[in-house]
Structure 1
Amino acid sequence: METPTRLRTDGPLRATLVAIGLTVFGIAATQFTTLPAFLLEPALIDSPAETSIGMRSAFLALNFLGFVLAGAIYLAATDRGWAYVDLRMPTMRGWLYTLGGIVGSIAFFVAVSLIIQLVSAPTAENQVMDIVGGDQTMVLVMIVIVFFFNAPAEEFLFRNIVQKRLYTAFTRLQSVLVASLIFALVHFPVYYVTADSLVATSVSLSVVFGGSIIFGYLYAKTDNLVVPTVAHAAFNAVQFGLLYLALAYDIEEAEPAPSLFVDAIVSLL
């Protein structure tokens, strides 16, 4: 599975700059695709949690479709076409990697949650919580969104486009690390605007970086986009499922929710 040296036709700097450019282009595309949602519901800008579930869902779906649009434009502009997309039914080996990725990412999530609690490390809340608010129904909707929009769109752009593009200049392991670093840095604004400190932002970004390495490794080992996509979706679905249970416990029992547990979940979303 290693990329042969003769196929590495790019210099590391150029490949990295192209990868960063593709990422920036993806973010810019989301500004275009979400414009209809903002025009229909201006409240999404300042108080998204107060808008309808339908509008919030449409906004998130359009946001992730921006990544797909950016990737599609890149494929068309470079004459790579859709044949470049590694999308096929996994083999038994592929499904085993998928299962390993799900178990590994959840184990990583649990371990990091425990470490955060033990050392009382500050964390930053993801802006997605401004959209979800304390709405249990929206949390369940998020599980659907991560399967059909979030994970497929992010894996398509950051794995099949960005990471695969890096193969022309780096080994596969190096490509996973560089792509994961770029993926983590993309989340900087998402966490920084809600963080109390740069340390809190850094802690949350390190968690994103670690998770991205897991999914990038799955793609590097299988050359199949389905494998990291399913693992990524399942991982996020477990997070939102735990958040739903935490919110339900708080509401139904009329007792304080286990705040550290909730904080850990929210900080890792």
Structure 2
Amino acid sequence: MNSEVATDRTGTAADSRFREAVLSFVLGASGYVGIQLTALVLVVGAIGFAGSLTDMEANVVAAVGTGVGAVFFALVYFEHSRHDASFLDLDPPGLRDVGYVVLGVVVLVGALFAISIVANALGLGLSNHSLADTAESADPLIVALLIPASILFVGPGEELVFRNVVQKRLGESFSTWGAIGLASVAFAAIHFPAYATGSLSQILASLVVVFTLSILLGWLYVRTEKLFVPALTHGIYNAIQFTILYVEVASVGLPG
């Protein structure tokens, strides 16, 4: 009898974790869709105001939509879940947290270069982010706007959804590393459209990079228990990439 009860409890717990994992993936997808819809609304509004937008200008507006859409998603989530705004880890950062941001940025950039070297050595290569292709023929000054947009909107927006909602919720049912891993799978999955610019092997290699970087962001979040740390780390990491992209685009127009 006791063994049957224990088995039932184990099965129930496993079913509960499975449902929570599926729900968290749905939440991640919902956050992504919410961000895209908000970005679309802002882009359409900007076109209505300005008359027209270039592809890169639309991407800058969409970057702002990432932050705005994430906030809307969080508000809807709190309205229809067991959690409320107290679920957010918005405590102000201290000097120690700034140190973690610096450490995180250094490790993220180092990991990107290391994985890129390994991928190239294996003959895989990485697919370009769709923004990189769009930027090739764009006004460098518009490309430069993505630098502050990454820090102010993209990093905070994506981390709000995938760290402070998805990962933290998973942490209620899974181990710390289980929650980080599952949230990182969801995070990598929603980046598939952005990297669908190369062969399947190149896309998968790029998603491995995203997954690995997400693992570190998840660890930073758990370590500090402050959304500020992964949000700023993520934003600065993206800003560094866009700074490099800006230099490349701007140098094309310089006399040789």
What TM-score, normalized by structure 1, do the two folds share?
Answer: 0.80
Q: Could you tell me which of 185, 192, 200 is aligned with 1:188?
A: 192
- What do residues 163-222 of structure 1 show as CA deviations (whole Å, max 9, x unaligned)? 000011111111111111110011122222x22x21111011001101111111100111
Which residue number corresponds to residue 39 of structure 2? Answer: 34
Letter in 1 for 2:126: T
The one of 73, 77, 84 equivalent to 2:87 is: 84
Match of 1:258 in 2: none
Aligned to 2:145: 141
The alpha carbon displacement at 1:225 in A equals 0.3
Aligned residues: percent identity? Answer: 29
Q: Which residue of 1 aligns with 2:131?
A: 128
Residue 133 to residue 63, structure 1, CA distance change in 2 (3 Å): farther
| Superposition CA RMSD, Å | 2.5
Give the total of aligned pairs. Answer: 239
User: Which of the residues 113, 117, 120 maps onto 2:116?
Assistant: 113
Tell whether the 8 Å contact from 2:63 to 2:150 is kept in structure 1 after alignment.
Answer: no
Partner residue in 2 for 1:265: none
Deviations 1:28-65 (A, max 9, x none): 213431343236649xxxx97x3573x44223312442
Q: Does 1:223 align with 2:228?
A: no
* Contact 2:116-2:126 within 8 A present in 1 as well: no
Residues 126 and 191 in structure 1, CA contact (< 8 A), matched pair in contact too = yes
Uncovered stretches (5+) of structure 1, i.e. residues with no partner? 1-7, 255-269
Tell me which moved more, 9-18 or 79-88.
9-18
Distance 2:119 2:255 in 1: 26
Residue type at the aligned position of 2:34: A
Asked whether the 8 Å contact 1:87–1:225 carries over to 2, the reply is yes
Distance in 1, Cα, partners of 2:169 & 2:15: 9
How much does 1:79 deviate? 4.9
Contact map agreement 1:10 1:168 (CA 8 A) in 2 = no
Contact 1:9/1:168 (<8 A) preserved: no
Change (3 A) 1:68 1:57: same
Gaps of 5+ in 2: 1-12
Deviations 1:222-262 (A, max 9, x none): 110001111111111111112222233333253xxxxxxxx
| Alpha-carbon separation, structure 2, partners of 1:234 and 1:80 | 29
Tell me the TM-score normalized by structure 2: 0.83
Partner of 2:169: 165
For the pair shown, which has the larger CA radius of gyration, 1 or 2?
2
In structure 2, distance between residues paired with 1:81 and 1:205: 32
Note the C-alpha offset of 1:74: 0.5
